[in-house]
Chains A and B, each alone.
Chain A
Amino acid sequence: MTLKALFAASATTALLLALPASAAELTIGFSQIGSESGWRAAETSVSKQEAAKRKVNLKIADAQQKQENQIKAIRSFIAQNVDAIFLAPVVSTGWDSVLKEAKEAKIPVVLLDRDIDPSGKELYLTAVTSDSVHEGAVAGDWLAKTVGTKPCNIVELQGTVGASVAANRKKGFDTAIAKHANLKVVRSQTGDFTRAKGKEVMESFIKAEGGGKNICAVYAHNDDMMVGAIQAMKEAGLKPGKDILTVSIDAVPDIFKAMVAGEANATVELTPNMAGPAFDAVAAFKEKGTVPPKWIQTESRLLTAADNPQKEYDSKKGLGY
């Protein structure tokens, strides 16, 4: 190879490098919280799938539930001059200085799944989250529609006391059923979002309500507690899904298994696909300069036994839930 050819080759490479990355080849850094739950694992897998669909080069940094790791990851993304940064914030405060650095570097930041405190609103492009009050309302509306005008005593399995998701899902449900005088929450107790506690609390509800005869429906703030409650009902000789209606939130694979067996009626999906809408918002912003709204609400789909639960199960079981 002559010296001339070598020069030519390196010049071409330099030219290629200098070209701005085309819109189809965005590089996005994603600071994920860590593997705190099955849903979180599913969010990571779905983000990768959505990125592959759009030919986005997605770099995921696992923060192992530590804010300092997330801040480090964001700084490193800024240093790599990525096109956008996704952040699933582990806490709601303490982001101001690092988000300012991103803003100065003109790198848009999109929040996924969780919001940060109000003082930082101008520091990020948009937040893609679910509305947990709305999730509770979807569950309540389904129950009201299904029960009709019959009187219905509901027992509620709450999430962890003090968790904002639990408070919101309770609020949404309560508001939805308040319009119907025949629906009443007769017992409400925390099941800590776990199967074991959901089962234990449901056992006590059954004993306290005449062996379950006075219970018409169970509302659980997440599917895991409902899976425990379904076991408790079966052990008490009741038929969940028939004697007692069930509605819960999250749409994890195991609730669809219960639906296929006719033991669960409905669930409201907390979609693991937060990244998809975020990719679209960033692409539109980069290409056309469209500024997205400050909050992109994800859809809270209602899924019942009529919505092919077997298919839902098959599509979700490999996601890491």
Chain B
Amino acid sequence: MTALLPRRGLAQILALIVILAVDRVVSPQFFDLRLQDGRLFGSLIDVLNRGTPVALLSLGMVLVIATRGIDLSVGAVMAICGAIAASLADSHSLPVVLAAALGAGLVCGLWNGFLVAVLGMQPIVATLILMVAGRGIAQLITEGRIVTFSSPDLVWLGNGSVLGLPVPVVIALGMLILTGAVVRGSALGLLIEATGGNARASELSGVGTRAMILSVYVWCGVCAALAGVIAAADIMGADANNAGLWLELDAILAVVIGGTSLFGGRFSLVLAVLGALIIQTMNTGILLSGYPPEFNLLVKAVVVLAVLLLQSPKLSGFAGIAARLRRTKA
């Protein structure tokens, strides 16, 4: 039974391959790719493109979870930053729009980090505040309407392409490399893991746990802001009621599917992004399958359960015992 237990990442890759194979069965043209107006066009590109917001969220979320925290506000932060970007898009240049939106994400992250690291609030409660209030703030910015814009620069962020790949995918890839370089290229990742593993012990051995916690929430806010800008650019408008709605749960799911424990102490950026892709591969497959929409959530739940069971140490333990029993009988 070593195949089920082994090095990190195998379970996720296996799951992705199985889901891709199922997608190929329900939709024979799943792997077809062609060039359309200079950009690649096909279901695989859809998976990458539509998976981008959750992948970006999971990049921030995985660091927060590594410190034994959680950020429920990312969906609302997406809505706020998307609303800011859409409101400014037609009157300001792209750098200004981006600076304002990402700045707002940073402030949201600072607020969460302040509540958790400085005031010592439970992360789930601290971020719940912004989850609820944030959507209201976004609605105030848009005045309850869908704010549309036509600025070609911002639209390009959502719908343009670089070397055939959609811009959002390139941005997500860039963020993955940047985040990886910062946390794994230095001791930062280790310090974050130490904070999550045992905050008190880390503090006593000289780790600035407060700074660690504050910075992961800030990064999470910035990632959410970027996801929000991309979501707004995609539909050329900011929909404060629906942008990022429930995506905090998908982001947490992506992190968990990626094998990161909610108890903190260790994390993998690549596997969290892979988790986001697993979720989107499944979503796209469901849409292509032609089943009635009433089944969407049911199928999703069953697949997620299967992927998590695949990673469960207890289940692998049972499988090991069964194998040993069989061997002794023989």
Report A's interface with B, CB cutoff 8 A: 35-38, 41, 158, 161, 187-190, 192, 194-196, 199-201, 203-205, 207-208, 224, 227-228, 231, 235-237, 254, 320-321
- Pick from B29, B145, B159: contact of A41, CB below 8 A: B145
B293 within 8 A of A: yes
- In angstroms, Cα B237 to Cα A227, docked, is 11
CA A231 – CA B237 in complex, angstroms? Answer: 12
* Other-chain contact of A200, B146, B236, B287 (Cβ < 8 Å): B287
Q: Is B211 an interface residue (CB 8 A)?
A: no
Q: Which of A188, A190, A199, A224 contacts B146 (CB 8 A)?
A: A224
Chain A interface helix/strand/loop/mixed: helix
CB A211 to nearest CB in B, in angstroms, measures 8
A-side contacts of B242, CB under 8 Å: 192, 194-196
- Residues in B291-309 with C-beta less than 8 Å from chain A: 292-294, 296
In the complex, whether B250 has a CB less than 8 A from a CB of chain A is no
Known contacts A207-B42, A208-B288: does B235 contact A195 (CB below 8 Å)? yes
Asked if residues A207 and B235 are in contact (CB atoms below 8 Å), the reply is no
Interface residue B157 (Cβ < 8 Å from any Cβ of A)? no
SS class of chain B's interface: helix, strand, loop or mixed?
Answer: mixed
Q: Tell me which residues across on chain A come within 8 A of B46, comparing CB atoms.
A: 200, 203-204, 207
Q: Which of A37, A188, A208, A231 contacts B235 (CB 8 A)?
A: A231
Q: Closest residue to A224 on the B side, CB-wise?
A: B146
CB atoms of B237 and A195 under 8 A apart: yes
5 A-B residue pairings within 8 Å (CB atoms): A37-B144, A41-B145, A207-B42, A227-B235, A237-B36
| Complex contacts, B139 vs chain A, CB 8 Å | 35
Residue in A38, A41, A161, A204 whose CB lies within 8 Å of B284: A204
Q: Does B290 contact A (CB under 8 A)?
A: yes
- The reply on B148 being an interface residue by CB < 8 A is yes
Most chain A C-beta atoms within 10 Å of own C-beta, residue among B27, B32, B46: B46
Interface residues of B in 4-22 (CB under 8 A from A): none
Which residues of B lie under 8 Å from residue A37 when comparing CB positions? Answer: 144, 241
- B241 nearest CB neighbor, chain A only: A37
- Point out the residues of chain A lying under 8 angstroms from B143, CB to CB: 320
Q: Which of B27, B239, B284, B287 has the most CB of A within 10 A?
A: B287
Q: Decide: B50 and A188 in contact? CB cutoff 8 A.
A: no
B287 adjacent to A189 (CB under 8 Å): yes
In the complex, what residue of chain B is closest to A38 when comparing beta carbons?
B145
B252 contacts A by Cβ under 8 Å: no
B43 touches A207 (CB 8 A): yes
Q: How far is the CA of A149 from the CA of B296 in the complex (A)?
A: 34
A38 touches B293 (CB 8 A): no
With a cutoff of 8 Å between Cβ atoms, the chain B residues found around residue A188 in the complex are 292-293
Q: Does B41 contact A (CB under 8 A)?
A: yes
Closest B residue to A235 using CB positions: B159
Q: Report if B243 contacts A (CB, 8 A).
A: yes
A37 to B42 CA separation, bound complex (whole angstroms): 34
Question: Given the complex, which residues of A lie within 8 Å of B148, measured CB to CB?
Answer: 254
User: Which of A194, A207, A227 has the most chain B CB atoms inside 10 A of its CB?
Assistant: A207
Pair A194/B239 contact, Cβ less than 8 Å? yes
CB-CB under 8 A from B159, the residues of chain A are 231, 235
Evaluate contact between A320 and B145: CB separation under 8 angstroms.
yes
Q: Which 10 A-B pairs have the closest CB atoms?
A: A204-B287, A190-B293, A195-B235, A194-B242, A35-B144, A207-B43, A208-B288, A204-B288, A237-B36, A161-B293
Q: A207-B27, A207-B43, A235-B159 are in contact. Are A38 and B287 (CB under 8 A)?
A: no
Give A122 Cβ to nearest chain B Cβ, in Å: 35
B235→A196 contact, CB < 8 A: yes
Alpha-carbon distance between A237 and B296 when the two chains are bound, in angstroms: 28
Which residues of chain B have C-beta atoms less than 8 A from A208's C-beta? 27, 29, 288, 290
Residues from chain B with a CB closer than 8 A to the CB of A36 are 241
Report whether A158 and B293 are in contact in the complex, using a CB–CB cutoff of 8 Å: yes
Q: Is B231 an interface residue (CB 8 A)?
A: yes
The residue among A187, A196, A228 with the most chain B CB atoms within 10 A of its own CB is A196
State in angstroms the CA–CA spacing of A320 and B235 once bound together: 19
CA distance A27 to B32 in the complex (A): 65
Inter-chain contact B235/A228, CB cutoff 8 Å: yes
Chain B residues, Cβ within 8 Å of A201 = 287
Cα distance, A208 to B284, chains bound together (Å): 11
Complex-state Cα separation, A208 to B290, whole angstroms: 9
In the bound complex, residues from chain B placing their C-beta under 8 Å from that of A236 are 36, 41
Task: Give Cα distance in the complex from A228 to B237, angstroms.
Answer: 10
Q: Look across to chain B and name the residue whose beta carbon is closest to the beta carbon of A210.
A: B29
